[in-house]
């Protein structure tokens, strides 16, 4: 074995050792709890769980809502991708940037927005009752299957739009022009040339949306409750409400198998960042509004309902954070922001709201730092060791459900070696770090592999050690990519709620958990203020990701 390959394997052992203690051993404990009875391995718990009518309902409902959510996401998202590709109009770049929102927007803010906008006393119902003179709210969407499906479509239709837009705008327009020259009409040219080229991107988008909807937690929990629970919510309820450890572990084992299978099938299709990679735009655009093409105004028939679905809930959250009930209506106020940043203990949280904000920032910063270090080590190992088995081991957390990971760490921190850590938010930091570092790897690894290897070879020829060459040559060239990965990791950590719900304890709350607890207590103003703060942080991350992401790609050209 060459010295370079030996160094690479030694480097790979560091993240493998970390994952062995912080990830694989906790997962093994979940499997042991679910399949072991008095030291004897058995499938009795699994058979008992699968025979439970409630568990069967969880499985069938999870599949049903995921399929419906994926179909609605396609119906809403494909026209948006078409619009962004074919037409120019004021605000197009901003709208395109907003298609990145679902990748970092915390789902609990979406759930809160739907409660405020589509709820029985929400903005939409109040407007309809006032306009139509109704005594009862006409829309009764909340706490139903369709509330979950619509919220998932809000969250995932921009994903479909993003995939379609990126794939379509990099297609060679001369192929369509050749079909038109040969006599094909616009529809036939689209069906025979454009649509087949878009099919892989659409299929990849739908696969991702299906995975996201199957493993969704915050939206079904907030908008469905126990009656319309998914498997993820079922694991949480069994663990934290019913405290049935063995049934929880058995159901978690089922969910683990489902999540690994879905992630494997999705990644075989190219994965997220491969499809979303920014390429050179080749498709021309035409003005959306043109005197000679008045029929293009028919797009308003899509844009107006879409704006209602996409802008309404988020606008309701922001508006509600600045309003307080007053005689005869509502009045502007900053009361809810003062409450959201109060250092006093809230009876609804069991901690101070400010403490929840500081906990999220602390955990996010620590998890981001750890994820960057781990992501660089993993990327360095995978650059030189082309092993599918090693890549599978190092990227395994990407395929594990967050609620299963939370359960695994909940059990792991009850015994050595993790129980030896001093008191603090370490379970949350480790959970967030494991959740976000695969995205760091998938962000920086393509950029690293695109670097010219002769630059490092020249530094080594001049006498620089391998670490010195990395620090003085490669690291500066990867700076933009690391900033993008760090912004994404921090935003994902801020919005992560699933594992945090499993690991929370009195006095240890994050912003998403505080939003959910305020929402459950019907303190909508406080929940909206915290959600708005979270969305501001998310918006900053989106800008960094979008702008520096493009800069990082162009630096490689």
The tokens describing 84, both together, are: 């962004």
Number of structural domains the chain divides into: 1
pLDDT of residue 557: 47
| 8-state DSSP, 333 | -
CA distance 438 to 337: 34
Q: How many CA atoms lie within 13 A of 475 on its CB side?
A: 11
Contacts (Cβ under 8 Å, ≥6 apart) of 51: none
91 in Cβ contact with 234 (< 8 Å): no
- State the CATH number of the domain containing residue 225: 1.10.3720.10
Q: Looking at residue 267, what is its pLDDT?
A: 64
- What gap in Å lies between CA 513 and CA 534, rounded to an integer? 12
pLDDT for position 62: 93
pLDDT of residue 388: 80
User: Which residues, other chains included, contact 543 with Cβ-Cβ below 8 Å and sequence gap of 6+?
Assistant: 97
pLDDT of 274: 44
Helices in 466-523 by DSSP H: which ranges?
A: 466-469, 475-477, 479-495, 498-503, 511-520
- Classify residue 93: in a domain, yes or no: yes
Q: Which two tokens stand for residue 247?
A: 């049934």
Contact 473, 455 (CB under 8 A): yes
Region of 522 please: left (phi>0), alpha (psi -120 to 50) or beta: left
> DSSP label at 241?
I
Examine residue 531 and state whether it is found in any structural domain, yes or no: no
Angle of helix 107-118 relative to helix 145-169, nearest 10 degrees, comes to: 120
What does residue 321 show for φ and ψ, rounded to 5 degrees?
A: -70, -15
Encoding tokens for residue 178? 């050749």
- Convert the pLDDT of each residue in 192-249 to its tens digit: 888 888 888 888 888 888 988 998 999 999 998 778 899 999 999 888 888 788 888 8
Q: Which residues of 76-97 are buried (b: 16+ CB within 10 A; e: fewer)?
A: bbbbbbbbbbbbeeeeeeebbe
The neighbouring-strand residues paired with 331 are 324
Q: Which stretches in the chain have pLDDT values below 50?
A: 272-278, 552-554, 556-557
DSSP state of 422: P
Residues 6+ apart with CB under 8 A from 127: none
* Distant-in-sequence, close-in-space partners of 362: CB < 8 Å, separation ≥ 6: 425
- Give Cα separations from 47 to 41, 53, 177, 404 (angstroms): 13, 12, 59, 19
User: Is 501 a member of any domain?
Assistant: no
Q: Is residue 387 part of a domain?
A: no
Pseudo-torsion of CA 344, 346, 350, 352, nearest 10°?
Answer: -40
Q: Residue 266, SS3? A: helix
| In contact, 425 and 277? CB cutoff 8 Å | no
Domain residue limits at 62: 43-102+143-288
Specify the pLDDT at position 367. Answer: 96
Paired tokens of 342:
């109060």
Quick check: is 92 in a domain?
A: yes
**Residues of 103-117 as b/e, b for ≥16 C-beta within 10 angstroms?**
bbbbbbbbbbbbbbb
In a domain, 74, yes or no: yes
58 part of a folded domain: yes
Tokens encoding 143: 């706490």
Q: Is residue 354 part of a domain?
A: no
């Amino acid at each position: 074995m060459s010295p370079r390959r030996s160094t690479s394997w030694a480097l790979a052992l560091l993240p493998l050792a970390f994952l062995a203690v912080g990830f694989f051993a906790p997962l093994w404990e979940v499997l042991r709890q679910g399949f072991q009875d008095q030291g004897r391995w058995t499938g009795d718990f699994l058979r008992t769980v699968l025979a439970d009518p409630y568990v069967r309902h969880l499985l069938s409902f999870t599949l049903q809502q995921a399929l419906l959510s994926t179909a609605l996401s396609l119906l809403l998202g494909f026209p948006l991708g078409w619009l962004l590709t074919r037409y120019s109009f004021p605000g197009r770049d901003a709208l395109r940037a907003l298609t990145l929102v679902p990748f970092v927007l915390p789902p609990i803010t979406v759930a809160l927005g739907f409660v405020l906008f589509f709820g029985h006393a929400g903005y939409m119902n109040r407007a309809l009752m006032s306009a139509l003179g109704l005594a009862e709210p006409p829309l009764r969407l909340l706490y139903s299957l369709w509330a979950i499906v619509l919220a998932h479509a809000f969250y995932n239709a921009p994903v479909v739009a993003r995939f379609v837009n990126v794939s379509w705008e990099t297609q060679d327009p001369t192929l369509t022009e050749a079909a038109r020259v040969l006599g094909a009409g616009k529809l036939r040219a689209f069906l025979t040339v454009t649509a087949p080229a878009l099919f892989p991107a659409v299929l990849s988008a739908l696969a991702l949306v299906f995975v996201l909807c199957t493993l969704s937690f915050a939206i079904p929990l907030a908008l469905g409750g126990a009656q319309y629970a998914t498997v993820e919510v079922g694991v949480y309820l069994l663990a934290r409400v019913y405290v049935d450890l063995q049934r929880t572990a058995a159901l978690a084992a089922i969910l683990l198998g489902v999540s690994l299978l879905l992630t494997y099938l999705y990644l075989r299709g190219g994965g997220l960042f491969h499809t979303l990679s920014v390429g050179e735009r080749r498709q021309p655009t035409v003005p959306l509004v043109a005197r000679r093409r008045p029929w293009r105004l028919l797009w308003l028939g899509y844009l107006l309902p879409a704006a209602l679905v996409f802008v309404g809930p988020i606008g309701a959250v922001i508006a509600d954070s600045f309003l307080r009930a007053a005689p005869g209506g509502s009045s502007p106020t900053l009361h809810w922001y003062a409450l959201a940043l109060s250092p006093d203990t809230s009876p609804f949280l069991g901690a101070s709201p400010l403490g929840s904000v500081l906990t999220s920032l602390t955990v996010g910063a620590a998890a981001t730092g750890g994820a960057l270090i781990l992501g660089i080590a993993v990327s360095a190992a995978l650059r030189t060791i082309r092993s599918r088995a090693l890549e599978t081991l190092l990227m395994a957390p990407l395929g594990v459900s967050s609620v299963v990971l939370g359960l695994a760490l909940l059990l792991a921190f009850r015994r050595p070696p993790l129980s030896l850590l001093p008191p603090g938010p370490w379970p949350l930091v480790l959970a967030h770090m494991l959740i976000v570092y695969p995205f760091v790897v998938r962000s920086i690894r393509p950029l690293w592999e695109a670097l010219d290897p002769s630059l490092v070879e020249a530094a080594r020829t001049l006498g620089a050690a391998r670490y010195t060459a990395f620090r003085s040559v490669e690291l500066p060239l990867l700076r933009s990519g690391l900033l993008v990965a760090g912004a994404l990791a921090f935003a994902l950590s801020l919005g992560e709620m699933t594992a945090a719900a499993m690991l929370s304890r009195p006095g240890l709350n994050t912003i998403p958990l505080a939003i959910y607890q305020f929402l459950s207590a019907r303190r909508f103003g406080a929940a909206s203020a915290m959600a708005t703060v979270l969305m501001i942080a998310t918006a900053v991350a989106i800008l960094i990701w979008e702008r520096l992401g493009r800069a990082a790609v162009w630096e490689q050209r």
